[in-house]
Amino acid sequence: MPKSRRSLSSASPSPKSPPPQAARSWKPIAVASAVVVVCICGGAVFGDWWTTLPDDVTANYVGRQSCLQCHTKESQAWSGSHHDLAMDPATDETVLADFDNAHVQHHDVDSTMFRDGEKFMVRTEGPDGKMGDFEVKYVFGVTPLQQYMVEFDRTDEMPDTEIARLQVLRLCWDTLQEKWFYLPPPDVAEKLSPDDDLHWTGVTMCWNTSCADCHSTNLQKNFDVRTARFHTTFSEIDVSCEACHGPGSVHVELAESHSLFWDRKRGYGLARLKGTDPQVQIDTCAQCHSRRRQSVHPGFRPGDNFYDHHDNALLTTLLYHADGQIQDEVYVHGSFLQSKMYQKGIRCTDCHDPHTARLKHEGNQVCTSCHQHPAGKYDTPAHHRHDVGSKGAQCVECHMPTKTYMEVDPRRDHSLRVPRPDLSVTLGTPNACSGCHLDQSGLPAAKREKLGEYANWLAAAENDEEVKQALLTVDTWCRDRFVQWYGEKEDATTHFANALTAARVGDPVATELLKQIAGDRRTPDIIRATCLQELGQYGADEANEVSTQLLHDADPQVRATAISNLQGLTGARLVELVAPLLNDRVRLVREQAARVLAPLPRAELRGSQRDALRQALTEFEAGLMVNNERAGSHMMLGVLRADQGDPAGAERAYETAMRVEPQVVGPRSNLAELLDRQAEQLQQQAMRYAQANNPAGRDLILQSGEIRDRVAKLRVEELALLRRDVGLVPTNGPLRYRYGLLLYLLGDEAQAVTELEEACRLSPNSPDFVMALALLYQKHQRFVDAIEQMERVVELRPDDDSAQQVLRDLHRQQFDSGGVSPRRTAP
């Protein structure tokens, strides 16, 4: 029996539909040298031939039932699509999994899926670590897996139109193999603690936070910071018409007005997804099919500029390989931006049917429908070098290789690149050829089978020398054949992957390549922005010149990254360069400019600049509060308030961060630092009072002491959280660095040295880590060790005058203590 909502596509016209109109005939009439089309209906000529709605009319969401009367074909195509089935209430019809007392064993938890009357139930480990029974309220997705959601925190007062906090179970149904499986987080093999953010009851598995925005239409998260509860709503539970076309009330009003033409200002009253600018459609799809760094502003609607509301993630280490191929789950957009297809104006619907969400053609026809070159150029063994009809003869196998996510979901890389086994040999990046020819590795068949898909080999090679060498054998074999067939690639040493590979380990050799690529406008903009961001780690001298040149680049991510690199500047020079971008046409750039300028005294800005800064900061704060259920948003607000000279506002923001996510690392350290500065100011004021024989100084000393006690308490709490995280991810250099610094602040200098040494071992090319260790050695008068570390800092930052001075001071101190003579470190 089909769902009632599935039958909407065949529904009869609404009783509110207008009565049938008389048959119309059309003819053009020349009026004052212009051709005007008029409608003759029963002999009358209508004069209201062009409609213009009032300027203040706002489009609202009206639901897909308003679309069906005219768009039956599209509705039928959409029905049953992945968009249609993105989310549903749990019913006999929508639940695909076996709930007949089925069991899944994961670690030491034996979970049971069963029925309680009409309810679908799961008995599993709950947030308290105890076994409990949980009702499945909603299903998520349809194939290749279906997920199940449990509602928490619902109160009796909440209306049916609101959804409280939904948590997505890690117990999933494989719809192809028809079996239950446990979905672990990527790269986490051990059992999750119930208080771990990755546990199914943790924040990363919260539907309202991580999933809802892209699985329902007109999603309003509605998190109440005061009560720490969600009151989430949507206009439609799945990805329906208005999720892509925009709210339809204006379109419906125009369609029912019986005017001869659409609105001369608004056109159809919907997003122009098929207009001459492909970016409109791409941005509309990217609102969901992208990995975002942050929310820029609430309220994205189809037709809006993507960067007015979102900030696409760059090609960072955890998300992409150094050559831009997908590593983590990035949802297509960042890959597609790298492609030649994007540069040539190809849009999503050139390959995908927008309503069925399926490919428009089968097999290689998806590609050859556009690549209609002379016969036999591409879809032939002369090009692909594989047997006709074989897997290797398929365009996507070479140019869009897959990686499996969520255990059972293979997804294709949309950067549509040429395989580069030569880069695999020199840099260790993946390539599609090796992924298919692992039988050339020389490893025993049993080990090959155990390793499984190519991505597992790449992960294993990081710690298994045998696998690493086996992959090199395969890569070399593939490279030799590639060169034999297609010749050497001219960019083997200048390809951006060389720069990013070096930059990811902090190698100074990367700087010149990064500069060249960032400034080369023939390179895809997302790659240029990434190179510019990486350049920032090498110090101001390396980054400032290039960043200054790119402040007015055509791409908003490049402009925003350039602004971020200049935040080390101060005073008039910073205002001169960045203040004009407070009026940038793209909100992401305006907000980045505001964030960088916020710490400046307002007297350094002109009146119009102060107004523009105030407006941009208002936008920035609105963007932060899109995710007001996350501690990070309130931490960033706290930093902004501190920069604005509002310590009370900063304190409130940090306390809110601790309240909404009590277990997160960061807000306690920030608040402790803020309070520590306040205590220091009180002590200095008390000293001035004492010098003036003012007895009020004693009260200030008491206040300062109370604040110091609070600071110590906050740091002890933070230390426990950092110790937990270091235990979970012991190979994370930045985490060990933060842990070491906090140990130092709490007086455990011996353990601080141990942690900083480990941080430098894990991240040997991070100058800040090495500098901190050198200074701690200096304090302990370990001058030989300190000099060794500072020489490394100078090597990493050869143009850093302050590092040169610290090294000279260390040599002088060593000499004074009876060591070797001081020596020059630079001409």
pLDDT digits (tens, 9 = 90+) for 96-119: 999 999 999 999 999 999 999 999
Q: How far apart are CA 25 and CA 5, in angstroms?
A: 37
Q: Which residues contact 22 (CB under 8 A, 6 or more apart)?
A: 41, 42
- Give just the sign of the alpha carbon dihedral 650, 652, 655, 660: negative
Which long-range CB contacts under 8 A does 314-318 form with residues at least 24 apart? 314/526, 314/529, 314/530, 314/533, 314/557, 314/561, 315/500, 315/526, 315/527, 315/530, 316/530, 317/504
The span from the CA of 687 to the CA of 676, in Å, is 17
Query: Are residues 625 and 297 in contact, defined by beta-carbon separation less than 8 angstroms?
Result: no
Q: Mind spelling out the 3-state secondary structure of 155-168?
A: CCCCCCCCECEEEE
**How far is Cα 621 from Cα 649, in angstroms, rounded to an integer?**
13
88-92, 332-336, 502-506 — which is least confidently predicted?
Answer: 502-506
- Give residue 35's pLDDT: 39
Q: Backbone phi, then psi, for 588, in 5-degree steps?
A: -55, -45
Confidence of residue 823 (pLDDT cuts 50, 70, 90): very low
Categorize the per-residue pLDDT at 50 as very low, low, confident or very high, splitting at 50, 70 and 90.
Answer: low
When pLDDT is averaged across residues 77-104 and rounded to a whole number, the result is 98
- CA-to-CA separations, 689 to 478, 677, 685, in angstroms, rounded: 78, 18, 6
The pLDDT of residue 6: 35
The b-or-e profile of 61-79 (16+ CB within 10 A means b, else e) is: bbbbebbbbebeebbbbbb
pLDDT tens digits along 201-233:
999 999 999 999 999 999 999 999 999 999 999
- How would residue 88 be classed by pLDDT, with cut points 50, 70 and 90? very high
How far, in Å, CA of 628 to CA of 622, rounded?
10
Per-residue pLDDT averaged across 514-538, rounded? 95
Task: Give the dihedral of Cα atoms 212, 213, 219, 221; nearest 10 deg.
Answer: 70
* pTM recorded for the entire structure: 0.90
Query: Cβ atoms within 10 A of the Cβ of 766, count?
Result: 20
Kindly report the average pLDDT of the chain as a whole number: 91
Weakest mean pLDDT among 485-489, 629-633, 823-827: 823-827
Band (pLDDT 50/70/90 cuts) for residue 11 is very low
User: Using H for helix, E for strand and C for coil, what is the string for 337-354?
Assistant: CCCHHHHCCCCHHHCECC
- Percent share of the chain, pLDDT over 70: 92
Average pLDDT over residues 618-632: 97
Strand partners, 173: 146, 180
Residues 6+ apart with CB under 8 A from 469: none
What is the tens place of the pLDDT at every residue in 152-199?
999 999 999 999 999 999 999 999 999 999 999 988 889 999 999 999
- Written in H, E and C, the secondary structure of 384-418 is HCCCCCCHHHCHHHHHCCEEEECCCEEEECCCCCC
Residue 817: pLDDT band (50, 70, 90) is confident
CA–CA dist 25, 40 (Å, integer): 6
Other beta carbons within 10 Å of 417: 20
Note the pLDDT tens digit of each residue in 256-304: 887 878 888 888 999 999 999 999 999 999 999 999 999 999 999 999 9
Of the listed ranges 19-28, 204-213, 730-739, the one predicted with least confidence: 19-28
3-state helix/strand/coil string of 734-748: HHHHHHHHHHHHCCC
What local confidence, expressed as pLDDT, does residue 59 receive? 95
Closest by CA position to 649, among listed 616, 681, 617: 617
562/557 Cα distance (integer angstroms):
8
Distance between start and end Cα atoms, the chain: 84
For 451, the enclosing helix (H) or strand (E) is helix 445-451
What pLDDT is recorded for position 227? 95
Phi (first) and psi of residue 409, to 5 degrees: -115, 90
> What are the E-state strand segments in 126-201?
131-140, 145-152, 165-168, 171-174, 179-182
The per-residue pLDDT for range 548-581, each reduced to its tens digit, is 999 999 999 999 999 999 998 988 999 999 999 9
pLDDT at residue 506, rounded to an integer: 85
Q: Give the phi and the psi of residue 710 in degrees, each rounded to 5.
A: -65, -40
More confident residue, 110 or 14: 110
Establish whether the linkage from the previous residue to 767 is cis, with ω within 30° of 0: no
* pLDDT given at position 508: 85
CB atoms within 10 A of CB 776: 21
pLDDT grade for 827, boundaries at 50, 70 and 90: very low
